[in-house]
Amino acid sequence: MNKYNVENLADNLTKHTLSFGASSIEIIPEKGALLNSLIINHQQLLDHYNQIEELQTLDWAKSALLFPFPNRLKDGKYSWENVPYQFPINLPPNAIHGFGLFEPFTVIDTEFNSYFSKISLSYIYNKKYSFYPFKFEVTISYILFENSLKVNYFAKNMDNHPIPMGLGWHPYFSIGGNVAEWYLRMPPTKKIEVDENMIPTGKTAKFSAFEKEKKIENTELDTCFKVEEKENFEMEIRNDKGILKYWQSVGNKKFNLVQLFIPPKRSCIAIEPMTCGIDAFNQDKNMVSLGVGEVLGGSFGVEWMEIKLN
C-alpha cells in the first residue's frame, strides 16, 4: 500500500514520491520542499509544474512555502530593532513571498504504516542574506492518508534575540473545469482592505458572501481575510466531480489569516494559509515577533470526496 521513490531530475533536483493506496504526493526538496503533485484517489488536486524549466523559475509560486514572510512587503522595506533593511523588489513596487521557495530542504525522516505515508524535511537558515540577518529553522511534514493530506509546518527562532517571522503556503487547487462552475463555501471573515499596490489600508470589512454555498461565477478574488479564532478554519470548493474540503489551524502563533486568489485563466484557486497579514513586518510587528527558541506555525490540510453518480 505504501511506496516511496526518489528520482534524480535535471539540474540537481530530486523528486520524492510517496503513495498510499490510490493517493500520492511529489516533493521537490531543493525548491523549498515544494509539493508539486497531490493526487487523492486518482484525482490531481493541484495546478502544478510539468517541466524542469518551470521548476527552476517557480512562476506563480505554485504550492511554494513562503517565509520569512508571506504575501507582500511594502517597497521591500522594514526595520527591526531600529535597523533598516531592504528586500529585493520582485513584484514592483513590493517584495513578495520571501525567499524560502528557492531554498534547499533536507529530508530528515520518513514513516510508513497502515494509516499513512509521511515525509519530514528541514531547512536551517544562518543569516545568508544581508537583508534578513537572523537565524531560524523551518520544518515541514507532509502526511498522506487514503483520502486526505495533512501538513505540519513550523518555524523556530534559533537566534539570540527576537526575530521577525511569518509563514505561508501558496497552493493552487484545481478540481477540473472552470472556476466559474465551482461552488464555494466559507464562514464569515474579515476582509483586509488594500490600496492600489495591494498594501493594507488599516480597514477591514465583514465578508460573508459565501457563508452559504454559492457558485463562484465571475467573482474576482485576490483578497486576504482574517479568520475567526477557533480551533480550525474550514472551507470547501465543489464541482460535479467532488468536494475539496480545506482546513487550517487557528490560534496563538498559528494560521490566523487566509488569502484567496483566482488567477486570470480561472482554472484553479489559491487558498493560502498565513500566520501574519500583508506587510506585517511593518504593520503588525507584535504578530511577527518570534522570541528566542519560540516556535510559530501549525497545521493545514485537504480532503477530497468524490461524487459518485448513480
pLDDT tens digits along 69-90: 999 999 999 999 999 999 999 9
Q: What is the pLDDT of residues 27-80, one digit of tens each?
A: 999 999 999 999 999 999 999 999 999 999 999 999 999 999 999 999 999 999
Q: What is the pTM of this model?
A: 0.96
What domain count does the chain have?
1
**Residue linked to cell 544562518:** 126
- Percent of the residues in the chain that have a pLDDT greater than 70, as a whole number: 99
pLDDT at 156: 98
**What are the DSSP calls for 61-102, one per residue?**
GTTEEEBS--SEEGGGEEEETTEEEE---SBTTBEESBSGGG
Q: Which domain holds residue 286?
A: 2-306
> What is the C-alpha to C-alpha distance for residues 124 and 232, in angstroms, rounded to an integer?
28
The pLDDT tens digits of the residues spanning 197-250 come to 999 999 999 999 999 999 999 999 999 999 987 789 999 999 999 999 999 999
- pLDDT for the residue 96: 97
Over residues 187-198, the mean pLDDT reads 96
CATH code of the domain containing 66: 2.70.98.10
- What gap in Å lies between CA 277 and CA 263, rounded to an integer? 20
